[in-house]
Amino acid sequence: MDDINVLVYYDGRWDEYCYYKDYFVVGIVIPIDCRYVVLVDLIMNELKRDRAHYDVTIQYQVVANGPLIRISGDSSVSFYKGIKKNESDSTKFPLCVDINLIPCVYDNRMALDNVMTARDTLESTSNMRGNVSDVLKLLHRMKNENLVPDQQTFGSLLYAVASDGSVEVGRIVHGHIVTSGFQLDRHV
């Protein structure tokens, strides 16, 4: 048996009649000895997406608007290859792939990006006298995005406030730090 040419439909949606709609198409070649992990890697590489950050669901239909058959392991890949090898029309039985960002990976990556951006911004603003309002806005944004500032972030904030010399701003910042649960006295 030769390698198998397969159409991959992706970034589409299933309608109420079990039709996959509004999709994009790529073609891949499935090796004769293809296993599930290899199939997923082939698809993700073709779509230029990092498999570690996405949940992949691979399905196909034997008849239009019929039940969906899910490929979820090596045996279902073998079954699919068996169906495809007996079909001369390479457009038959396309793989319909749903790719969703894994929430926890996305959230952690976003949080890390936001913390790094916030920290970089705090460090750069801490070197400018009289720019405390920008630093406070940034701290407020971090709080709204449920990001917990770390020791370095609070240190940068305190440095900016100290360089401004305003006791009132110092009280406000101290209130922000205390309400965040950060134990300031342990780190000063």
On the question of pLDDT at 169 being above 90, the answer is: no
pLDDT tens across 61-89, in order?
A: 998 888 999 999 999 999 999 999 888 89
> Could you tell me the pLDDT band of residue 160, with boundaries at 50, 70 and 90?
low
Structure tokens at 118: 């916030």
Cα three-residue angle 8-11-17, rounded to 5 degrees: 85
The CATH code that applies to domain 4-101 is 3.10.20.90
> pLDDT value at position 88?
86
Q: List, for residues 17-72, the tens digit of each pLDDT value.
A: 889 999 999 999 999 999 999 999 999 999 998 888 888 999 999 988 889 999 99
Give the C-alpha distances (Å, rounded to integers) separating 47 from 27, 28, 58, 59, 72.
Answer: 10, 10, 14, 16, 19
Q: Where are the domains of the chain?
A: 4-101, 105-187
Q: Give the per-residue pLDDT at 126.
A: 42
Single pTM value for the model: 0.55
